[in-house]
Amino acid sequence: MKKSNTSLWIFIIYIIAQLSAIVGLPIVMPFVSDGRTPQEAYLAASGWWMFIAFGITTFAALYLSSKDKQYFKTPKGKRSPVLAAIVLGIAGFFMVLFGQGAAGYIEQQLGIEPGSDNTAALVSVADMAPVAIIAVVLFAPILEEFIFRRIIFGGLVDRTNFFVAAAVSSLVFAAVHMDFTHILLYAASGFIFAFLYHVTKRLITSIIAHMLLNGFVMAVQLNMDKIQEFIDQMERISNMQ
């Protein structure tokens, strides 16, 4: 299998997965509608279909890439040892948090209110169908790193340079999330993911950082009430002293 064909097929199945809800939601809705309002049923169906579609697509992408022995030899250069790539992936999570913090500060200076509509929508879906968390934390990072880092960044970096390839891939990554108010926030994350991939030449590095970021965001958002209650409790204790 030629490398270009592998990328093309992975890109095609990713697009199909993104559009598949048009067909998938009507199929799933009858199974999740009992005892729910129409809005709740829609969110639950969205979560289950996200899990199904992204799950199938992720395994298909992994299968296709495993059949191409040359696929992960892009970009050019010596690849880091696997252990070093994993460690940098974990460290990269904190790099992305710092990058998002800096991007968030810039957005606030520009008068942009914090809070992503895309994240809020995913949290609403996960509330109704917790299985969607698997799609957000595991499947989505793998697929997005294949598309935006391996295919787009990897396809450009050897023809141009790191900054051009990282800028293009991170902007496309940001645009696909359809939250243009916070495009800087998503672009910053995408740029750092590209940097991690470029440094190690191993996609596992950016995948790990991406998974940890999504997992952290989902954990915080889904437990926001408990976190706020804990903060309020600590403030009351502090005021009593």
**Per-residue pLDDT reduced to its tens digit, 96-116:** 999 999 999 999 998 888 877
Give the per-residue pLDDT at 241: 62
Residue 147 belongs to domain spanning: 3-235
Region 187-199: mean pLDDT is 96
- 241 falls within a domain: no
Domain count, the chain: 1
Give percent of the chain with pLDDT exceeding 70: 95
Cα 181-16-144 angle, rounded to 5 deg: 50
Residues that are catalytic: 144, 177
- Enter the pTM of the model: 0.91
In eight-state DSSP terms, residue 37 is: -
In eight-state DSSP terms, residue 75 is: S
Query: CA–CA separation, 2 vs 61, rounded Å?
Result: 15
- 135 falls within a domain: yes
Give the per-residue pLDDT at 233: 76
- 240 falls within a domain: no
